[in-house]
Chains A and B, each alone.
Chain A
Amino acid sequence: MAVSGKHTIMSSTPLQVLLYLNGWYFAAYFLAESLMFVFKGLMLPYPTANLTLDVVLLLLFLGLESLRIFYGWKGNLTERSLAMFVSVLILVLCAVLSVYYLLLQTFVLRLEFILNAVLLCFYSLEMLLGIMSISAFSRSKVY
């Protein structure tokens, strides 16, 4: 199925693998972060406004990440550059949120630091592969 006639496949397999694993990793990350917020809320002296902000940002992160992975998945498989471009844009926002959880939130646990660092590694690779696949898709002479 790789080559039929004159059309070669431009979808990036590494990007697909990364998106798949990122989906699973983010599910585990969200679960871990929710439990850690329960722990931090009970153990550490949080001002209420900060805790509310962090929890709401986590829910926002869930929504953004789901959207990003969906657009990236579909864009890569159907070889459309618009969907991939939207995915890369949302990736920037998600990276900002990840850096917030890594550095700028009120109380940062070591475990959160490591989890966010791994997530940022995923993001950097996906951004690279996403930009490469956008250029591959736009250069093709399908139409």
Chain B
Amino acid sequence: MSAVGNLVPARFLTLTAHLVIVITIFWSRENNVEACLPLDFTQEQYDNEDTKLVVALSVTLGLFAIELAGFFSGVSMFNCSQGLLSTAAHASASVALLFFLFEQWDCEFYWWILAFCRSVAGHIGLFLRSAVFSLHLLRSYSSSQCLD
């Protein structure tokens, strides 16, 4: 069964959904910043927390660029466990960020979501496995079967 045929669009759609939610949070972050602050806050406190959230969101967007590059170059297309891990991470991140946005969670939760769903280990795993795997692919004839 060609599992690649179903995994690639799933991975792409969850990745895009995550990206769309991150951009939406970037755009409408006032409510979340105000949730981190005490009831009467000064402008400097607001700017402080705002800057921290902007940094977190920019880090996320940078990691997205790396992941999109990896996805579109296709090096990890046949590595099903990587694809499954990526789909699961992005789906859970999208749901968590939806809650973050609608329930106006505290700013710190964003760092937790970032840590769990975009772990550096996941990215390193992507690069290592895709590097090893693309070498194998250069020597063999590829089929559309998932290889682990």
Q: Measuring CB to CB, which residues of chain A are less than 8 angstroms from any residue of chain B?
A: 17, 20-21, 24-25, 28, 110-111, 114-115, 118
Contact = CB atoms under 8 A, between A and B. Distances in A.
B9 A21 contact: yes
Interface of B: 9, 12-13, 16-17, 19-20, 23-24, 27-28, 72, 74
A114 B20 contact: yes
Contacts of A110: 24, 27-28
Q: Which label, helix, strand, loop or mixed, suits the secondary structure of the A interface?
A: helix
B13 A24 contact: yes
A122 to B, nearest CB: 10
Given A17-B72, A110-B28, A25 B12 contact: yes
Given A17-B72, A110-B27, A110-B28, A115 B20 contact: yes
Contacts of A21: 9, 12
A17 B23 CA distance: 24
B24 A24 contact: no
Smallest CB-CB A-B distances: 10 pairs: A24-B9, A114-B20, A114-B23, A21-B12, A28-B13, A110-B27, A110-B24, A24-B13, A111-B24, A114-B24
Given A118-B16, A118-B19, 13 more contacts: A17-B72, A21-B9, A21-B12, A24-B12, A25-B12, A25-B13, A28-B13, A28-B17, A110-B24, A110-B27, A111-B24, A114-B24, A115-B20
Contacts of A17: 72, 74
Nearest to B19: A118
Contacts, number: 26
Contacts of B13: 24-25, 28
Nearest to B10: A24
Contacts of B17: 28
Nearest to A18: B72
A118 B68 CA distance: 13
A17 B8 CA distance: 11
Contacts of A25: 12-13, 16
Contacts of A20: 9
A116 to B, nearest CB: 11
A118 B16 CA distance: 9
A118 B20 contact: yes
25 contacts: A17-B74, A20-B9, A21-B9, A21-B12, A24-B9, A24-B12, A24-B13, A25-B12, A25-B13, A25-B16, A28-B13, A28-B16, A28-B17, A110-B24, A110-B27, A110-B28, A111-B20, A111-B24, A114-B20, A114-B23, A114-B24, A115-B20, A118-B16, A118-B19, A118-B20
